[in-house]
């Protein structure tokens, strides 16, 4: 039932993902039972649409500043005709191995942002180790791979784990300078497992840089609260040196068409490069959807819902 409920979640208005549920039904002693639906890439997707001219860097500094006491976890998110990787921070619940805890949270958790989704099933067991050359070995139980995925989502799910494990190692200060982190992924102690029926897990896996989101709001996270001045940080692939942003009030549970504020965020890198961005919006108390995007068509948009409280007296 988990896969079916996930399928419904992705079909909310305005976020229609190209999911194909298996249509065949069969009868059992308990009645009619649906075959597990398959999570697929958007129907408009082509491999050409999945490449970025100059993707984000894959070395640990691309993770930004360390966040002690928090776990970096990556999720999948639909953006245009492609599915990309987005990171959130979750609270660490123990002082155990941060890589193990982050991977476990990735398989068992749900994104804070409803625009993201998670194709994994909860893993019964995860162990991890890291070498002096930043080779991270993750051993995960096969029950984590129960979901039915097509080849495109399967590749992204494996990369979701690679990104999460390497981010957790970097955030915890476990990596050493001079070596890009790589992941050896074992399943029930063995190499060569075919993940989700598509991805053969062998050798040292590296981040696929083309799967990092083209625009990504790093801070604030979904559901954050602030007082008056809201500062937004993120990173983006540059398309002419500027990003557009809007702050739209939430009215009756939905963003209003008229923005309270809007503006531009400067990108230092030339077109095709990647750059950090930052801007500050002075907003009256209330709930808002803050969006960042390219151009008038709002391409590559990422957004967060935030609450502005009255300043303390």
What is the per-residue pLDDT for 112?
93
What is the per-residue pLDDT for 44?
54
What is the per-residue pLDDT for 51?
37
122 and 239 housed in the same domain: no
219 and 155 housed in the same domain: no
Residues 10 and 2: their CA atoms lie apart, in Å, by 13
175 and 273 housed in the same domain: no
Residues 110 and 200: their CA atoms lie apart, in Å, by 26
Cα separations (Å) of 159 from 89, 132, 201, 246, 300? Answer: 17, 22, 11, 31, 20
120 and 232 housed in the same domain: no
Joined together, the tokens standing for residue 131 give 């070498």
DSSP state of 165: H
Q: Among the three residues 147, 179, 211, which one is the final residue of a domain in this structure?
A: 211
122 and 265 housed in the same domain: no
Contact of 211 with 204, CB cutoff 8 Å: no
* Residue 243 belongs to domain spanning: 215-309
Burial of 83: CB neighbours in 10 Å, binned 0-12, 13-18, 19+: buried
Residues 129 and 134: their CA atoms lie apart, in Å, by 10
The contacts of residue 3 (CB under 8 Å, 6+ apart) are: 36, 37, 39, 146, 147, 148
What is the per-residue pLDDT for 241?
73
Q: Among the three residues 177, 211, 245, which one is the final residue of a domain in this structure?
A: 211
CATH number at residue 244: 2.60.40.650
Residues 290 and 272: their CA atoms lie apart, in Å, by 24
Residues 67 and 181: their CA atoms lie apart, in Å, by 19
Q: What is the full per-residue pLDDT of the chain (313 aa) written as tens digits? A: 333 233 333 333 333 344 443 323 223 334 343 345 788 888 655 443 333 333 343 333 355 666 777 899 999 999 888 999 999 999 888 768 999 999 999 999 999 999 999 999 999 999 999 999 999 999 999 999 999 999 999 999 999 999 999 999 999 999 998 899 999 999 999 999 999 999 999 999 999 988 999 998 989 999 998 877 899 999 888 777 789 999 999 998 899 888 889 999 988 766 667 888 999 999 999 999 999 999 888 889 999 999 999 876 4
Q: How many residues are listed for the chain in this entry? A: 313
What is the per-residue pLDDT for 228?
73
Q: Is residue 32 part of a domain?
A: no
Joined together, the tokens standing for residue 216 give 């990504």
Q: Among the three residues 171, 194, 211, which one is the final residue of a domain in this structure?
A: 211
Taking the alpha carbons of 36, 186, 171, 239 in that order, is the dihedral positive or negative? negative
238 and 140 housed in the same domain: no
What is the per-residue pLDDT for 43?
67
Joined together, the tokens standing for residue 25 give 């039904």
What is the per-residue pLDDT for 145?
97
Contact of 138 with 191, CB cutoff 8 Å: no
């Amino acid at each position: 039932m988990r896969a079916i409920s996930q399928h419904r979640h992705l079909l909310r208005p305005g976020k229609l993902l190209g999911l194909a549920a298996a249509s065949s039904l069969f009868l059992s002693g308990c009645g009619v039972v649906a075959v597990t639906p398959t999570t697929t890439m958007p129907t408009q997707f082509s491999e050409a649409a999945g490449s970025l001219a100059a993707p984000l860097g894959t070395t640990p500094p691309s993770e930004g500043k360390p966040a002690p006491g928090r776990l970096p976890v990556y999720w999948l998110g639909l953006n245009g005709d492609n599915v990309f990787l987005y990171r959130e921070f979750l609270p660490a619940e123990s002082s155990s191995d941060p890589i193990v805890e982050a991977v476990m949270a990735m398989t068992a958790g749900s994104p804070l942002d409803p625009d993201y989704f998670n194709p994994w099933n909860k893993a019964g067991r995860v162990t991890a180790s890291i070498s002096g050359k930043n080779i991270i070995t993750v051993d995960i139980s096969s029950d984590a791979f129960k979901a039915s995925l097509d080849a495109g989502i399967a590749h992204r799910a494996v990369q979701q784990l690679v990104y999460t494990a390497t981010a957790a190692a970097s955030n915890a200060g476990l990596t050493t300078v001079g070596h890009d982190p790589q992941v050896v992924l074992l399943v029930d102690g063995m190499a060569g497992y075919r993940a989700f029926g598509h991805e053969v897990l062998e050798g040292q896996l590296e981040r696929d840089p083309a799967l990092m989101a083209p625009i990504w709001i790093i801070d604030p996270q979904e559901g954050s609260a602030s007082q008056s001045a809201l500062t937004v940080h993120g990173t983006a692939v540059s398309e002419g040196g500027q990003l557009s942003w809007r702050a739209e009030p939430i009215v009756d549970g939905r963003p209003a068409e008229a923005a309270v504020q809007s503006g531009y965020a400067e990108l230092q890198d030339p077109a095709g490069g990647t750059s950090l961005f930052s801007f500050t919006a002075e907003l009256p108390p209330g709930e808002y959807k803050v969006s960042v995007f390219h151009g008038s068509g709002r391409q590559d948009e990422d957004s967060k819902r935030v609450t502005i409280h009255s300043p303390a007296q």
